[in-house]
A and B are shown apart, each in its own frame.
Chain A
Amino acid sequence: MKLNSLLLMSRLVKKSPSVCTDLPLSSSDVCNKLHLMKEFLRSSYGPTARLKQVHNNIGGSVVTSSTSCVLLQAIASSQPIISLIRSSILNHVSRFSDCGLFAAVFCLSLLEQAGQCGLRKNVMIKVNKHLLALCTGYLQQEDCGCKVKLDFCSSQSLITLARSVISSKPTCVLTQPESDHISRLAVQAFLLTVPCNIPDTVRLGRTVTITIEGHSVLKSAVFPGLLLSMPENLCFDSLCSPLLVVLFSISLAGDLSEIGDGRIEMHQGVDVDSQILDQLLELGKQVLKDGVKLFLCQKVIHPVLQHYLRCNGVIVIERLGVSLMEPLIQLTGAQPVATLHATIPSTVYGKVHNVCIRQFGSKTMLHLHPAGETGICSMILCHRNETMLNELKLVCQTTEHVLRLTLREPFALLGGGCTETHLAAYVRHKSKNEVSESTSVLGCSQTEYLLAAEAFCHSLELVATSLEHDGGTSLIDLTHAHHWTLPSDVTEEHLEGVIAPCGCGVVESCQNKTRSYLDTKYAGFSPAPLLTASPLQATVLDSFTAKVNALGVAVETANLVLDVRYVIQDVN
């Protein structure tokens, strides 16, 4: 439907009229695009995912990845509904780092199911909301069957959690020992950022990641303190501890770039450059007088000032970049100086205990040892090539975030698709049992309610089946409702003998468990909680906080899209 007749009256309108689409979800174009996006993201999910190459087709660099943030940032769409979903998921990822693909696939599947079951949108929305509350309520319960409490007395469960995140991205091409090594490092780095003595306000430290291409993953390491890239041919005499540090956040390049735009009037014959340089050298003199030994600047330092300071035995490092500023402030206790027109008060100086030089392959780094406990550590990540290294860096940052989230809620969810199948079974059972209560509250018919619940559960299960990319089939056991995979090349008679433990590794394969294919209907049952003295430890764990939030984001985004009546696009 076009509204141009309203706009075109007697005057000439140069702008094209906006395009208004009624009921966008019933348009086949939108549905096709949503389906495409779902299949695209589904194929990127999990440890055996198919990767995607992002490039501009004109010779730019190629990024190979299967992480939600890379993929979603790369896909741009003219369709506002897609953009809405995309930005909603990206927002979740920016806050929690993990479970982006889970949220996206679940959300898109909910939308697709909603279209297929043909229910009224407002019923779908209401039921989805209700079931989401059911899920989150169950997940928060003490006796929730797909949740494990993290034991901080041992690092084992933390390492498992880290390994699950790290091995979920196949672009890293890690072998078993390599992913074990990186998981241990991630946990070690995380523990270094947690302060030992608890003051009034707990402030977590930070891990700074440094990547080095061309070395084995097993050479990766974690160091307390900070490692800074060193300028060439730096040599320093033995310095007495502690060293006074000054940190600048403005450019000391000797230009006037920091004063902003605008026109400057100056008298003829004035040499601005040399005047600023004089100012810089003044600054240098003062710093020297105050006994500063480490001169750090976020931006560029004028070579003449650098030269002057180096000649006087100061270690000068420029171009640190904005990302290192916060860790440096935490490590040294220095206040960043943002002016060169005032004398520097001595209170802004920070200090480090000591510095030393470390060599990693071709990179020479200056290692700053903190003066006290600061929670700042550096992680050196090595990998054989750039593509794998970039993905490894992303994954390690996600891991750090996921580990931090455990401090807020010390739980993890069973991974490998088990949480999804378990939740689906729980919701199915619960919705069947409480159908009359729910329908009276929601104001819909029982059939409608059950159909919508089925769509919800099916979408959850679809996420679990998305983990398989090699033609295997997904199964669910009818006791604990965990997720099992049957490889495509194993026949059914071999099933009992061959099949490994369930997706998360908690339930062992044994004869007396009946299993059903995930895509077939099975009789509803209440998934039995695992005995606390479970013989097996989970081998795959997902972030509790991230997943619970992702669940919410997915349902709410789907509901929002279901609620869209018109799309009005300015096509100018």
Chain B
Amino acid sequence: MLESVIINSRQHVGLQKVSALAGRFRSSIGPIKNNKFIQDEVSGESVLVCSCFRIIENLEPTCAVGQLVYETIQAHHKGYRSGSGCLLFLAGAWSRTALDCLQRGIAVTHIIKAMSAGIDICLDVCKKSSVSFKDIAVMHKRTATPQDLGLQLSEEAITDASQEAANVHDKCLNMSGHRRVKLSRHFCEAKSEMLSSALLPDLLELPDVAVLAESLSHGCEDAMKLAVEAVQMLSKMNQQDISDPSFDISKVQTCVLPGLPEDCACVVEGCVFLLSDEQARVAHRIKQQPLKVALVTGDLSQTYRHLGFKSLSGVGVCEHLDLSASSKEDEWLEKVVNRLLNLKVNLILTAGLASQKVIQHCCRHHILVVEKVNSSVLRIIASSTGAVPVSYATQLAEPCVGNGINVEIWRDLSSYERESSTAVNISNGRNGGLVTAVITSCIHGKLQALEDQFWACAYRLHHALKDRALLPGAGGTEVLCVHQLQKQAEYHRVEDSKTGSAANLYRGLVLQLMADGLIDYISAVMVSTGRFSAAEARTIVSKQLQDFHKDEIIAGKFLQLILESRREDAVFSAGKPDEALTVKIYDNLSVKQEAWRKALDLVFLVLQTDAEIITGTGQRTEENLMRL
């Protein structure tokens, strides 16, 4: 993967590798991503990938640094499903910062101290510039009213509005004790009554999920639409408290249906599974009636044993008779089916696999077997139907069986695929609490990317609802960070000329270089939208920063810049620049903070490393290899 990169052996090799690796992903950051083909030269297979995570996953780096980068991204992806590109890019940019510092002769300890201070500044900016839900709701109300439409929001308006909100909140708290309202400096009693009746229901409301979603879609409008549907459906089904919205990701599953056009994607209550023809016939027979369900966590086969069971190797059987293994299996099958019939179970969901024979046999008795059910889905079905998951089908007994589950034919797909198949929806009608996002595409290779996009959007909403705040997006937060870093850098330079100490000088320099890394990020995102050249992007960013420095004394201009930058970068929401103008773009607070932190941690680990120990027998001839 790194072969084509010239690595200067007189500089820190690890940092150069991170930087080179990150360079490969330059075009994959930001909202508009180019698809990439990754081809395996040995097998000739290729995959279509889009996100940074999938690219690096398919590249399978083997060198230590590549592996470390991959592990970092994997850990991030597991929890956030987005921001991997940002992580990787900044790891690369800040690796260059560290390289630059090393070249200027700054000691590693000083670099680490100064960069830690830098990230603290950035995280602090994030905290301070984060916009709470309340403010978002207020802003949305403002922009939504006709007279305000088209007006740019200034900080004044925001503080104004949030003040109003705060006051109304006060008022609301004081409803019972009318007297205290008189003490309010902002409202006289008569006015406040009028206001409260007008504003109370609206202003106290949190922003609508759809509003959040619009600002968080980052170019994946379709996937975000699905995610919003999922949130809304879940909250309706579970009768969620409106004042405390949340999005429980574990209650969402995806079902990928190849062959259908992309606009068929939708969100469905319950769980959608794809069944074969034979299973579908059973489904037709048992549809639309309350069924008894059994849940099995293991495989449905006679030979299955639970994890940790060691079968004996040295068992000999005396008086060997001709009884083949298959008869043993038949016996087991007989036993299981009889038990299921006795318990009147019509539906078995298993987290493992079921042999063809079991499926066929069950079909004959009108028992539907669904394999490979996600274990979290199994858990939720268990809690909603009263079923108890068991490891072995032979364990099933009356108390383990759940009630009141329905099977419905969701769609017959026989016309789309060569192999006819049917999608069924399994739900328990009432409060199963599960939704399925059905992802469709005629192009098989795109399905993975579409599914990833859906999860990215779902996780963005999940984290947004958890954080209760968002960050100004479209590079806004980054610009603020750059500004703050540069300010601090300047401060340290001035301090240094006064005191003559070297430590501050380094700090100033390192902060400046870190800021350059962020500028690089902003311009790379702008370039990847395809509307700017690298030079143009840099000019715009530096122009903004200059303006920002001029206006900086007036704190009120703080957000204006971001809003303007949004207009510049309206291209971020791909395609429709005219519409995009009115949409504010936000980023997730925790995702960004975590990605930055992880990027810098990676740089620190690599920066401090000066040697590799290669263990095992994987012999490879390399330069600079020393043997003990």
**Residues in A lying within 8 Å of B, measured CB to CB:** 33, 36-37, 40, 43, 48-62, 64, 71, 74-77, 79, 82, 170-171, 173, 175, 213-214, 232-233, 251, 253-257, 261-268, 272, 299-300, 302-304, 307, 311, 319, 384-388, 469-472, 487-490, 498
A299–B609 CB distance below 8 A: no
> Nearest chain A CB to B384's CB is how many angstroms away?
13
Q: Which residues of A contact B610 (CB under 8 A)?
A: 43, 50-52
Known contacts A43-B611, A307-B388: A77-B307 contact under CB 8 Å: no
A253–B306 CB distance below 8 A: yes
CA distance A490 to B107 in the complex (A): 12
A299–B308 CB distance below 8 A: yes
A56-B616, A59-B67, A470-B108 given; 15 more Cβ-contact pairs under 8 Å = A54-B613, A56-B618, A57-B63, A60-B67, A62-B64, A232-B379, A233-B379, A233-B382, A251-B308, A254-B309, A266-B316, A268-B320, A384-B597, A384-B598, A488-B105
Known contacts A79-B628, A386-B71, A489-B107: A54-B616 contact under CB 8 Å: no
> Nearest chain A CB to B118's CB is how many angstroms away?
13
Q: What are some 14 contacts across the A-B interface (CB < 8 A)?
A: A52-B611, A56-B615, A61-B71, A74-B615, A76-B615, A171-B605, A213-B75, A255-B310, A267-B319, A268-B321, A300-B308, A303-B392, A319-B308, A384-B597
Q: Of B61, B392, B613, B620, which is in contact with the most chain A CB atoms at under 10 Å from its CB?
A: B613
Chain B residue with the shortest CB-CB distance to A74: B613
Which residues of B288-345 are within 8 A (CB) of A? Answer: 297-298, 305-312, 314-321, 323
Chain B residue with the shortest CB-CB distance to A173: B604
Q: Which residues of A contact B628 (CB under 8 A)?
A: 33, 36-37, 75-77, 79, 82
Chain B residue with the shortest CB-CB distance to A262: B314
CA distance A428 to B304 in the complex (A): 73
CB of B614 closer than 8 Å to a CB of A: yes
B605–A264 CB distance below 8 A: no
Chain A residue with the shortest CB-CB distance to B320: A268
A490–B502 CB distance below 8 A: yes
> Nearest chain B CB to A69's CB is how many angstroms away?
13
CB of B390 closer than 8 Å to a CB of A: yes
A387–B317 CB distance below 8 A: no
In the A-B complex, list the 4 residue pairs whose CB atoms are closest, starting with the nearest: A300-B308, A470-B107, A303-B391, A50-B610
Chain B residue with the shortest CB-CB distance to A318: B308
CA distance A56 to B619 in the complex (A): 9
Chain A residue with the shortest CB-CB distance to B505: A489
**Residues in B lying within 8 Å of A, measured CB to CB:** 60-65, 67-68, 71-72, 75, 79, 105, 107-110, 116, 297-298, 305-312, 314-321, 323, 379, 382-383, 388, 390-392, 395, 399, 501-502, 597-598, 601, 604-605, 608-616, 618, 620, 626-628
Q: Which residues of B contact A251 (CB under 8 A)?
A: 308
Our pick among A79, A233, A255, A272 for the contact of B309 (Cβ within 8 Å) is A255
CA distance A257 to B597 in the complex (A): 47
Q: Which residues of B contact A61 (CB under 8 A)?
A: 67, 71
A263–B308 CB distance below 8 A: no
A268–B317 CB distance below 8 A: yes
Q: Which residues of B contact A75 (CB under 8 A)?
A: 613, 628
CA distance A74 to B388 in the complex (A): 47
> Nearest chain B CB to A223's CB is how many angstroms away?
25
> Nearest chain A CB to B553's CB is how many angstroms away?
33
Q: Which residues of A contact B392 (CB under 8 A)?
A: 303-304
| Number of A-B contacts defined by CB within 8 Å | 188
Chain B residue with the shortest CB-CB distance to A470: B107
CA distance A175 to B306 in the complex (A): 45
Q: Of B309, B383, B501, which is in contact with the most chain A CB atoms at under 10 Å from its CB?
A: B309
Q: Which residues of B contact A472 (CB under 8 A)?
A: 107
B390–A307 CB distance below 8 A: yes
Q: Which residues of B contact A272 (CB under 8 A)?
A: 312, 315
CA distance A61 to B390 in the complex (A): 35
Our pick among B116, B320, B323, B611 for the contact of A50 (Cβ within 8 Å) is B611
CA distance A51 to B306 in the complex (A): 42
CA distance A444 to B116 in the complex (A): 56
CA distance A75 to B609 in the complex (A): 16
Chain B residue with the shortest CB-CB distance to A267: B318
A384–B601 CB distance below 8 A: yes
Q: Which residues of B contact A386 (CB under 8 A)?
A: 71, 75
CA distance A263 to B316 in the complex (A): 7
A264–B390 CB distance below 8 A: no
> Nearest chain A CB to B186's CB is how many angstroms away?
39
> Nearest chain A CB to B496's CB is how many angstroms away?
13
Q: Which residues of B contact A50 (CB under 8 A)?
A: 108, 608-611
Q: Which residues of A contact B72 (CB under 8 A)?
A: 385
Our pick among A77, A388, A470 for the contact of B109 (Cβ within 8 Å) is A470
A300–B309 CB distance below 8 A: yes
CA distance A552 to B317 in the complex (A): 61
Q: Which residues of B contact A311 (CB under 8 A)?
A: 399
A57–B616 CB distance below 8 A: yes
A303–B68 CB distance below 8 A: no
A387–B310 CB distance below 8 A: no
Chain B residue with the shortest CB-CB distance to A303: B391
> Nearest chain B CB to A265's CB is how many angstroms away?
5
CA distance A50 to B12 in the complex (A): 12
Q: Which residues of A contact B79 (CB under 8 A)?
A: 214
Q: Which residues of A contact B318 (CB under 8 A)?
A: 265-268
CA distance A254 to B597 in the complex (A): 47
CA distance A125 to B154 in the complex (A): 81
B317–A267 CB distance below 8 A: yes
Our pick among B60, B315, B612 for the contact of A53 (Cβ within 8 Å) is B612
B608–A51 CB distance below 8 A: yes
Known contacts A36-B626, A74-B615: A300-B306 contact under CB 8 Å: yes
CA distance A37 to B627 in the complex (A): 10
Q: Which residues of B contact A265 (CB under 8 A)?
A: 316-318
Q: Which residues of B contact A471 (CB under 8 A)?
A: 107
Q: Which residues of B contact A268 (CB under 8 A)?
A: 317-321, 323
B502–A489 CB distance below 8 A: yes
CA distance A451 to B611 in the complex (A): 34
Q: Which residues of A contact B109 (CB under 8 A)?
A: 48, 470
Chain B residue with the shortest CB-CB distance to A82: B628
CA distance A64 to B14 in the complex (A): 13
> Nearest chain B CB to A50's CB is how many angstroms away?
4
Q: Which residues of A contact B399 (CB under 8 A)?
A: 311
CA distance A74 to B614 in the complex (A): 8
Chain A residue with the shortest CB-CB distance to B379: A233
> Nearest chain B CB to A54's CB is how many angstroms away?
5
> Nearest chain B CB to A38's CB is how many angstroms away?
11
Chain A residue with the shortest CB-CB distance to B14: A53
B107–A71 CB distance below 8 A: no
CA distance A150 to B475 in the complex (A): 55
Q: Of B383, B615, B618, B628, which is in contact with the most chain A CB atoms at under 10 Å from its CB?
A: B628
Our pick among B67, B116, B310, B312 for the contact of A55 (Cβ within 8 Å) is B67
Chain A residue with the shortest CB-CB distance to B72: A385
Known contacts A268-B319, A489-B107: A52-B609 contact under CB 8 Å: yes
Chain B residue with the shortest CB-CB distance to A383: B601
Our pick among B305, B307, B614 for the contact of A56 (Cβ within 8 Å) is B614
CA distance A33 to B62 in the complex (A): 27
> Nearest chain A CB to B302's CB is how many angstroms away?
11
Q: Which residues of B contact A53 (CB under 8 A)?
A: 64-65, 68, 609, 611-613
Q: Which residues of A contact B383 (CB under 8 A)?
A: 233
Q: Which residues of A contact B626 (CB under 8 A)?
A: 36
Q: Which residues of B contact A33 (CB under 8 A)?
A: 627-628
CA distance A261 to B313 in the complex (A): 9
